[in-house]
Structure 1
Amino acid sequence: MLQNYLKIAWRNLRKHKFYSFLNIFGLSLGLASCLLITLYVIDELSYDRSFSDADRIHRVNSDIRFGGADMKLAVAPDPLAFTLFKDYPQLEAVARLREDGSYLVRRKSSTENLREDVVSYADSTFFDVFSIPLIAGDAKRILREPFTMVISERLAKKYFGSENPIGQILVLDNNLNYTVAGVMENIPEHSHMSKLNMLLAMTVNSESRADNWGSHNFLTYLKLRKGVSAAQFEKNFETILQKYTGSWVKQIMGATLNEMRKSGSYIKYTLIPLTDIHLHSDRKAEISANSNIQYVYIFAVVAIFLLGIACVNFMNLATARSANRAKEVGVRKALGSKRSYLMGQFLTEAIMLSFFSLLFAMILAYAALPLFNNLANKQIGFPFESVMFWSIALVTAVVVGVLAGSYPAFFLSAFTPLKVLRGAVEQDGKGGYLRNALVVFQFMVSVMLIIGTGVIYNQLNYIQTKKLGYSKDQVLIIKNAYALDTKARAFKDEVAQLPNVQSSTLTSFLPTPSSRTDNTFFPEGEMQQEKGISMQRWAVDYDYIKTLDLSMKSGRSFEKEFPSDSSGIIINEAAAKILGFKDPVGKRIYDLLMDSTNSKRTYTVLGVVKDFHFESLRKNIGALSMVLDRSYGLVAIRLKAANYPQTVAQVEALWKQMAPGQPFNYRFMDEDFDNEYRSEQRVGQIFITFAIISIIIGCLGLFGLSAYTAERRTKEIGVRKVLGASVSNIVTLLSRDFLKLVLLSIIIGSPIAWYAMNAWLKDFAYHVDIAWWMFAAAGLLSILIALLTVSFQSIKAALMNPVKSLKSE
């Protein structure tokens, strides 16, 4: 029986090649899209799962509200980890990381430096928490000795080639000699720590032994013992806060922890599972930018929708051929064939089509994978060697075939032999409603994707054109300025003399991704904790405000003519408002160091700079201050509108002259700004790609249904033409019903799209409003696409000779 089903199915597919192609192509597009998105989702969900006991490893997060600012940190105080380990036997191991930015690195025997972007201090217990195999070195002694390091296998090959790295010396920033004590396997790419290639012994970091409960700078990881609940362990944090943090608050602020809470301020510690960090954590001081679970949900829904509309397309195309298959069904039923046999036949055809579609989908997905990886910034591979992958693929083909073929099988096998053999194909009203509902579903998905794409691109355009309070264009940034050492200021001054340079500044702090430091400030004479303000403290030079094109609201900038400016401070409007200063200029504020000395620095407000977006547009503008201080991380150079390559070459020549052997790295500020929103740009590109695919599949379905309608109403069209109906009358008649369906899909899809995109926009403190014209544009585009699709079949039917359509009567 099965052999007979397969033989007839193959004959039907070969006989109706165009119909088979449309079916296979539409289903393949849906399956290929679903496959790519599934690979993306699996890739995103696999982060940090390669570590053994990953389910028992958690990181401590800190939530702090103080001085009018909310801080969500991925870091915790330096003493927290080992205090917890000492006080609570539920912990099997703890470890800390202190990310220390980039370093210039070279072998001791070399004069040429290379730049390593992510260098971190690590406790010797790091390998007790994380199961990263050591290729060389003694795991029991590693990172215990001062000025020792562990490097990845990648770095070992980079600096030492085939030599044994153990015992070799690497020089950091030209003055720190570190001995390589171990080589670890490369941390898996699917880890939030994948960029860690160099770990320095924590014993060198004096901050790690400061016992400072107020300075939050350490990534803190806890490995719970088997059977210990993270939720239960979290309850111990309140005891820690009362026992240790409370005494620190009392000592520094002169208030108890409860008094601090009553004023609206607080400190909270929570645990986040290691496997949740990549998708559920977007906090200050992350090792690297993480992804967002929201996008995983969005793409998973898109995958389901695309597969759904592909199946809908299959159903519509199958029912569109019902008139052609009706006589076949009538003859077979008249000869004694049971309905169950007919259903089996049609389901077999559907499953066979599904298998062909799956094969074609894999070819499409494999061919499109490099482009998709480029769009998604991934390195996803096809898991050809996975038995589970092939098993799931085969099951999917069967399930999709059954789902897509079930309705046509029920529909076609239900025809009454006598009626269909007389040429009167049954028109089931309920079946018509279902087909219409399927078309509405298809175009509803398309409308939602079109609106989503429009909102994303409108938001990105808003980000690009919004006035930021500073000028990001024509600003060249030179990295690693500390490599210049004592020549840094001289380099900056020499650069300023170049003909195409307006001004230059030397700092580590810029509005684009760079250093950040929060300090606690108090108005003069008011040291109560409720008067405190958490404020960014940026070390700048005299030319900073000029180079970034900032505007002063009141007062003045730093000036060399006033030596007392070394104790001056410039604050932004947000800080003045939080401090309660109506006329800030001349006021004095204290900077509380919050260290073991409890010392403070006093500043006089010289001026107020107009608010500018020094952080992402996802955040409101917070309190910011600028002081004159040494900070040699970066050189920012404002260029005139002239020959940029020539100016960069001149700057590089100066660099090589003043810092021989040091790498020359540069970027433009507007590029850094764009990188802040790279994930949104990728999402927009992926969205528009799948929106186009959904429209193509939807058009195939609409094409099928319009063919079905034209076929069903052939004789009606013939009669109307005999009675004088024009081609335009016929086209209007056949198109009108489909336009109603498209309009209904717009009405249903628009509010759903508005809700989803409004939720997405809430991630931005500054965002566009979802304008009415986005819905109108999406609706008009959908109507136009539907008209173009339907008109082909409508015009074809309208131009048919009525004699041919009526001669069978």
Structure 2
Amino acid sequence: MKIRDLKIAWRILIKQPAHSLIVFMGLSLSFAVCFLLLGYAKFSFEYNAHIPDADRIFLVKHRVNAFSRPVWVGFGLMSLNETIGKSGIPHTLISFSSQKQTVETNTKVLHSLNMAYVNGAFSDTFAVKTVQGNLATTLVKPDAIAVTISTAERIFNTQKVVGNILKIADKNVTIGAVIQDPPKNTTVNFEALVGTKEEESNSYIKLPSNVDVSMVEKFLQTAADNVPLAKRLREDWKTGGDQILTRKHAIEIRLTSLKDAYFDRDLGNFEGVYRGNKGIVIALVCVAVVILLLAATGFINLMVARTIRRQREIGVYKMLGATRLRVVGQFVTESLSLTFAANGLGLLLAWLLLPLFSDLMNRPLDSLFSLSNLTMSLVFSFAIGLLLSAYPTWIALQVNANQALVGRGNNESVGGMRLRRVLTVIQFSSAIAFGAVALAIAWQTYYVTKISLGFSPEKLLVLSLVQAPFGGEGDAQKAVEVKINSQNRAFQESVMRLPGVRDVASTNQALGRDFIGFNSPLITQDDRRISPVVHMVSPNFFTVHQIRSIAGRVYDPTLDLDEKLERIVLNEAAITALGFSTPQAAIGKIVMSRSRNNAWQIIGVVPNIRFQNAHEQEAPRSFKLSMSNSSLVIQVDTDLSEVQAKIAALWRESFPNDVINMVTNTSLVAENYAEDIRLTKLLIAAAIIVMLNATFGIYVLSAYSVQRRVQEIAIRKIYGAKTKAIALLLGKEFAVIMLGSALIGLPLGAFAISHYLASFVERAPIGGWTLLFALSVALLIAIISSLRHALLAMRISPMLALRD
């Protein structure tokens, strides 16, 4: 490669600036998309990679299969110390449990921390690095705490905080160590560490490489089968008929390695971590590759068209003694120049788009522009440049100098022309499929966000009340709980008196927020039983949410103030599961607890209220009276922001040592579809890019097609061919391309749409209109892209064309 080669490459690029700019921008945009999507995939697959032996550290999880909605949770119902600890199996137990905690500095400023309670084995196993102080000593002191660097800087504006005091739940603790922040791609996240006894919480187990994981899992499963709860559930199964789930184990145990924990969708939002979907990440990698391949198709078409046009120039080079290596060097230089420049612009675009992309993916991706990633991008663009130069270089090497100088020959073989047409078909079939899928997903997402929730979230605020601190024991803990409950009730009464507040209800969980909850068996008098999700609610809960019964009545504050009243409200799914023929048939019937010591009369049936998104079937639920709940639901009849400000001021007066957590109920509902909305936006962006690449491809192909057939068109005109005949001649080629694209793209799009919709319980009436719309858009793009060159072909002067 010589400087002269670069000058020639630049001259060739600016010779047809429009074509060069189109292909260059398409390739640059594709490099930007590839960098972002592949960087995101790398970020996802490197979760917990900083932890040594992450594939040998396992999270112990379980689910209770007798529940109406059995879900996996990351904590056990038994002590691992009492089971595997006495088994003789070599292992290390690691305690880790985190919760949001409010801390106060000596300047009376409140901060919310993600605080983790860990045992002594945690720091070594999870490679926690100490910056200041002594972490081992800190974790064995009951009044000491370790904070991360970012936490120290956020609270004290400095890293040198060892010895400073924080107040947590009226208790002073001393900062004994400052530690490194965990990487952003980890499922074990924390801002502060506090020591705890090993027997209090065992979340993880580390096994040597010579221990069979399946054997340990079977051992723990056997132990779980023998806990009292599992035995009681099995007895229920024997007498509960077909209403009790009949899986093999009442309590099921599984081990998930830290290496796979990020993609373990069973765990949901356990420990405050958003889980990834491996299938979606792999699909995004494929999207990145497809987009780059489609851009490469346009590049190849442009380079081939230029190579054909440059045959005389190549012939002169060869006549002057240019070697094959010299020709190869020239074309490789041209290709690399364009790809390196496109990659540079692509990286700039990626850097500008990174904040939007990070927000879209809901991940902290600011580390994407690392030296290793930039180096990989450079190597990647070099490899792409070499690959893209291969076919044009091969055509150039086949040029016969004598024939080229006399204006004869077309060194692109029939097979080569067919190859480029196939590439164009792939471009348009991809555009049709991407367009149809993006449109279908957008329509489905819009549909599910507009379906009835069973309640009205507008004008509702959700506020989390203060809870008793973690780790209390005995009478002291009960005294703290009584005090906090009294403060919460007083605060609720004060909120009720605020201007703009219509009513205030309480519950253990806000509607629209998906959560595990707790289950409690219900048994009918004819021994039919279920284990519905239990919701504790105040008497005005249903009126605040504007929920009406479909049979019987809901709770009424004038009739049901006493929470000891043995009354219960069920949703429609619970009535169906209990075997009642209609909701009306359940009214007045008695349901009992598992021990039959408690009984409730069914006074009402409400519609199924959508707690989860439309991917999941609504679970059976029961609503019981309670006046001491963890959340307030505040009904507002004026501007929400004004009332929020008043409540926040009242909170600071009532709970000066705690940070307020208040959101709108509408925002909680929106969180259920956040992932679908992100996927929709991403696919729409990808579909637009694919459509643009297809447009670039057909534009360049039409230019080459007209150029290749100039003399043929001229001869046809001399023999009397009309404009219509010329148009049909050119249109026939593109009609075949579009037909092939439709035959490939429409089935692919239909399959992808069907696969996506299969994950929803409620589906939009889509049919085939998304496929037809995408096909129509692709046809319109093809017509517009090729129209300019078709018009030029119709105006070709036969004399000028034959003279050339």
Indicate the SS of the match to 2:188: coil
Amino acid across the alignment from 1:351: L
Cα distance change on mapping 1:327 and 1:518 into 2, 3 Å: same
1:541 aligns with 2:538: yes
- Mapping for residues 641-790 of structure 1, pairs under 5 Å: 642-656=638-652, 658-659=654-655, 663-722=659-718, 730-768=726-764, 770-790=766-786
d(CA) in 2 for partners of 1:643, 1:382: 40
Report the equivalent of 2:38: 38
Displacement of 1:167: 7.4
Displacement of 1:581: 3.6
Cα distance change on mapping 1:731 and 1:454 into 2, 3 Å: same
Residue 66 of structure 1 contacts residue 532 of structure 1 at CA under 8 Å; is this kept in 2? no
Amino acid across the alignment from 2:673: Y
Residue 81 of structure 1 contacts residue 95 of structure 1 at CA under 8 Å; is this kept in 2? no
Residue 95 of structure 2 contacts residue 122 of structure 2 at CA under 8 Å; is this kept in 1? yes
Displacement of 1:548: 1.3
Residue 612 of structure 2 contacts residue 672 of structure 2 at CA under 8 Å; is this kept in 1? no
After superposing the two structures, state which structure 1 stretch, 504-513 or 310-319, moved more. 504-513
Report the equivalent of 1:59: 59
Indicate the SS of the match to 1:47: coil
d(CA) in 2 for partners of 1:7, 1:466: 62
Report the equivalent of 1:86: 86
Amino acid across the alignment from 1:580: G
Indicate the SS of the match to 2:349: helix
Displacement of 1:440: 0.7
Displacement of 1:269: 1.5
Displacement of 1:646: 3.4
1:77 aligns with 2:77: yes
d(CA) in 1 for partners of 2:36, 2:127: 31
1:722-780 CA-to-partner distances (Å, cap 9, x unmatched) read 56656565445424422431332132122223323433333433333543111111111
Indicate the SS of the match to 1:473: coil
After superposing the two structures, state which structure 1 stretch, 664-673 or 123-132, moved more. 123-132
Give the paired residue count. 778
1:561 aligns with 2:544: no
1:364-396 CA-to-partner distances (Å, cap 9, x unmatched) read 32333333223323333466663x545533432
After superposing the two structures, state which structure 1 stretch, 258-267 or 350-359, moved more. 258-267
Report the equivalent of 2:523: 523
Indicate the SS of the match to 2:71: strand
Displacement of 1:796: 2.5
Amino acid across the alignment from 2:261: I
Cα distance change on mapping 1:333 and 1:258 into 2, 3 Å: farther
1:629 aligns with 2:626: yes
Residue 79 of structure 2 contacts residue 202 of structure 2 at CA under 8 Å; is this kept in 1? no
Can you give the 5+ residue segments of structure 1 that lack an aligned partner in the other structure?
A: 210-217, 593-597
1:604 aligns with 2:606: no
Indicate the SS of the match to 2:391: helix
Indicate the SS of the match to 2:632: strand
Report the equivalent of 2:611: 614
Residue 59 of structure 1 contacts residue 221 of structure 1 at CA under 8 Å; is this kept in 2? yes
Cα distance change on mapping 1:475 and 1:755 into 2, 3 Å: same
Report the equivalent of 1:281: 265
Residue 443 of structure 1 contacts residue 698 of structure 1 at CA under 8 Å; is this kept in 2? yes
1:315 aligns with 2:310: no
d(CA) in 2 for partners of 1:424, 1:717: 17
Displacement of 1:669: 1.1
d(CA) in 2 for partners of 1:233, 1:501: 56
Amino acid across the alignment from 1:570: V
Cα distance change on mapping 1:620 and 1:261 into 2, 3 Å: closer
d(CA) in 1 for partners of 2:128, 2:529: 43
1:220-257 CA-to-partner distances (Å, cap 9, x unmatched) read 21111243343443333343235x33x54335654799
Residue 312 of structure 2 contacts residue 404 of structure 2 at CA under 8 Å; is this kept in 1? yes
Amino acid across the alignment from 1:716: E
Report the equivalent of 2:570: 571
d(CA) in 1 for partners of 2:733, 2:647: 68
Q: Provide the identity percentage.
A: 25
Cα distance change on mapping 1:752 and 1:616 into 2, 3 Å: same
Amino acid across the alignment from 2:151: L
Can you give the 5+ residue segments of structure 2 that lack an aligned partner in the other structure?
A: 469-483
1:459 aligns with 2:464: no
Amino acid across the alignment from 2:66: F
Report the equivalent of 1:105: 103
Amino acid across the alignment from 1:758: S
d(CA) in 1 for partners of 2:50, 2:597: 46
Displacement of 1:466: 0.5
Cα distance change on mapping 1:372 and 1:729 into 2, 3 Å: farther
d(CA) in 1 for partners of 2:149, 2:251: 40
Residue 758 of structure 1 contacts residue 770 of structure 1 at CA under 8 Å; is this kept in 2? no
d(CA) in 2 for partners of 1:448, 1:681: 19
Indicate the SS of the match to 1:193: coil
Match of 2:191 among 197, 203, 224: 197
Residue 332 of structure 2 contacts residue 393 of structure 2 at CA under 8 Å; is this kept in 1? yes
Q: Output the TM-score relative to the length of structure 2.
A: 0.87
Amino acid across the alignment from 2:396: L
1:228 aligns with 2:211: yes
| C-alpha RMSD of the superposition | 3.5
Report the equivalent of 1:213: none
Cα distance change on mapping 1:277 and 1:306 into 2, 3 Å: same
Residue 521 of structure 2 contacts residue 529 of structure 2 at CA under 8 Å; is this kept in 1? yes
Displacement of 1:191: 0.8
Cα distance change on mapping 1:374 and 1:256 into 2, 3 Å: closer
d(CA) in 2 for partners of 1:652, 1:477: 12
d(CA) in 2 for partners of 1:228, 1:265: 24
Displacement of 1:104: 3.5
Indicate the SS of the match to 2:89: coil
Cα distance change on mapping 1:471 and 1:706 into 2, 3 Å: same
Displacement of 1:274: 0.5
Displacement of 1:584: 2.7
Indicate the SS of the match to 1:235: helix
1:474-520 CA-to-partner distances (Å, cap 9, x unmatched) read 21223336698525345444544556444321223112337642223
After superposing the two structures, state which structure 1 stretch, 41-50 or 737-746, moved more. 737-746
Amino acid across the alignment from 2:672: E
Residue 519 of structure 1 contacts residue 591 of structure 1 at CA under 8 Å; is this kept in 2? no
Report the equivalent of 1:595: none
d(CA) in 1 for partners of 2:779, 2:446: 26
1:806 aligns with 2:802: yes
Cα distance change on mapping 1:738 and 1:227 into 2, 3 Å: same
Amino acid across the alignment from 2:187: H
Cα distance change on mapping 1:114 and 1:743 into 2, 3 Å: same
1:47 aligns with 2:43: no
Cα distance change on mapping 1:182 and 1:78 into 2, 3 Å: farther
Residue 149 of structure 2 contacts residue 181 of structure 2 at CA under 8 Å; is this kept in 1? yes
1:585 aligns with 2:587: yes
Amino acid across the alignment from 1:184: I
1:474 aligns with 2:459: yes
1:24-59 CA-to-partner distances (Å, cap 9, x unmatched) read 333222222212212111111121111222232111
d(CA) in 2 for partners of 1:292, 1:29: 25
d(CA) in 1 for partners of 2:289, 2:81: 43
Indicate the SS of the match to 1:680: helix
Cα distance change on mapping 1:122 and 1:291 into 2, 3 Å: same
Amino acid across the alignment from 1:224: L
Cα distance change on mapping 1:227 and 1:700 into 2, 3 Å: same
1:196-232 CA-to-partner distances (Å, cap 9, x unmatched) read 22445545x9xx76xxxxxxxx672111124334344
Indicate the SS of the match to 1:132: coil
Displacement of 1:534: 2.5
